[in-house]
Chain A
């Protein structure tokens, strides 16, 4: 079944919600799809026990109030072709045809391998925050947070609010960098307020600078974590360890559509022009997918892309100064939260890097090319399709990410064969059957 719409928005985080609303304000027919059951993306993720921030409630209410805006929850875009996408929803597939497309696919956490990182109870920092909001039993648990960047503080505040005992936050950046970062904040009063509020909510929690997690220990779950700093190595007993090294844009859908990517540091982001159009005509991108920028960037870029996708270029153009100001803040982050080499050297030869296929670091030595390594070791061929290990290997300097168009083959997520069979004709148009069969291994 093919359904048409004027503007299709993929991702219902702050960027996608703003895009859908802006496009719908011009009267066109808009469809907004997201893998999650509730709108809000990562920062406004639905919390089953606590109320959402006012901005999030407003954005969602505005979405629901528009009769020309159709919201599709728990719908995952699994494949793309020019002018149409394939969506899997409750095991069924449907095809949506669009006039213009806005990619607001957000970002994921950068997770780096270290001894013990596969133990249950070790997760990303934002990951534990997300799980907790969705009912994960965290009350009374001893949690250690580590990694880098402001997300550690936001996660810690959420965990504490839900009753966790936050043992410490270990930030790998040195003191001087953190002081320099703080001294810039006055230019973004909103951020300064946010930082002050977080500090209050985290009163009494140790914030250790220049320290990082070396290893996690346990049997069938984590029991203890090893921290390294100038003071030496310390072992701390805990129930959960949450380690995130910042964020990396989600670019798989863009790559599959043939949108040009560009490197932002070590990782790719979607390349857009001043109008937020990608290199593919009629396909726009906004928010973290175009480079990590935070919620203010996501909202203004989403609005710009939504206006532009609906053909309202003037409305989009009027937002350019706001976008520049918001992006300037984003540019500070990589400067001050630059990763030290120590955290890139934590994995030992026996540490598993590819968690889906259980491939250790030592098995990956000696391959200069990702494809050769993949064929020989199966690294990156499991269910996550390289999203975790590929990003980690890129950060470790062992893999150069592809930025050429069409580098990502469909489906972008493992998809059930029955769903794909139902998509029938779509397959013939978008890719060969062989691609589907090999890439969807593990979940058929």
Chain B
């Protein structure tokens, strides 16, 4: 049977989302904190479609990934404030 949820870690905190959900949805389980702007402002997804780069996080050690276009997978390690 297909698993209906996947589990990943955001800043070390375990989070569960429906299978097929994107990383943005997983981060949002913990609130609206995504990245910090150049001047230190909090920012979160704006375009939802991979264009604005406001949803950037680091995924499995690779920096500057757009959380809204990456599908969440079991065991992913996500870091915010990228």
A residues sitting closer than 8 Å to B (CB atoms) are 35-38, 42, 46, 48-49, 74, 76, 91, 108-109, 111, 118-124, 126-131, 134-137, 220-221, 355-358, 382-384, 387-388, 414, 442-443
- In the complex, are the beta carbons of A48 and B20 less than 8 A apart? yes
Would you list 25 pairs from A and B whose C-beta atoms are within 8 A, ordered by A residue?
A36-B69, A42-B49, A108-B47, A109-B47, A118-B41, A120-B44, A123-B45, A127-B45, A127-B49, A131-B24, A131-B25, A134-B24, A136-B24, A136-B25, A137-B28, A220-B32, A221-B32, A355-B46, A355-B54, A356-B38, A384-B53, A414-B64, A442-B53, A443-B53, A443-B64
- In the complex, are the beta carbons of B29 and A137 less than 8 A apart? yes
- In the complex, are the beta carbons of A135 and B18 less than 8 A apart? yes
B residues sitting closer than 8 Å to A (CB atoms) are 17-22, 24-26, 28-29, 31-34, 37-39, 41-54, 56, 62-64, 68-69, 71-72
What is the predominant secondary structure among interface residues of chain B facing chain A?
A: loop
Chain A minimum-CB-distance residue to B54: A355
Chain A minimum-CB-distance residue to B44: A120
Cα distance A129–B47 when bound, in Å?
10
Q: Which residues of B contact A49 (CB under 8 A)?
A: 18
- In the complex, are the beta carbons of B68 and A221 less than 8 A apart? no
- In the complex, are the beta carbons of A388 and B52 less than 8 A apart? yes
- In the complex, are the beta carbons of A388 and B44 less than 8 A apart? no
Q: Which residues of B contact A35 (CB under 8 A)?
A: 50, 69
- In the complex, are the beta carbons of B64 and A108 less than 8 A apart? no
Extra 9 A-B pairs, beta carbons < 8 Å, given A123-B45, A135-B22, A221-B31: A76-B50, A127-B48, A134-B68, A135-B72, A137-B25, A137-B28, A356-B53, A414-B53, A443-B64
Q: Which of B21, B42, B48 contacts A123 (CB 8 A)?
A: B48
* Closest chain A CB from B40 CB (angstroms): 9
- In the complex, are the beta carbons of A120 and B34 less than 8 A apart? yes
Cα distance A289–B72 when bound, in Å?
29
- In the complex, are the beta carbons of A136 and B47 less than 8 A apart? no
The 5 closest A-B pairs by CB, nearest first: A135-B21, A135-B25, A127-B48, A120-B44, A383-B53
Q: Which residues of A contact B68 (CB under 8 A)?
A: 130-131, 134
Chain A minimum-CB-distance residue to B41: A118
- In the complex, are the beta carbons of B47 and A127 less than 8 A apart? yes
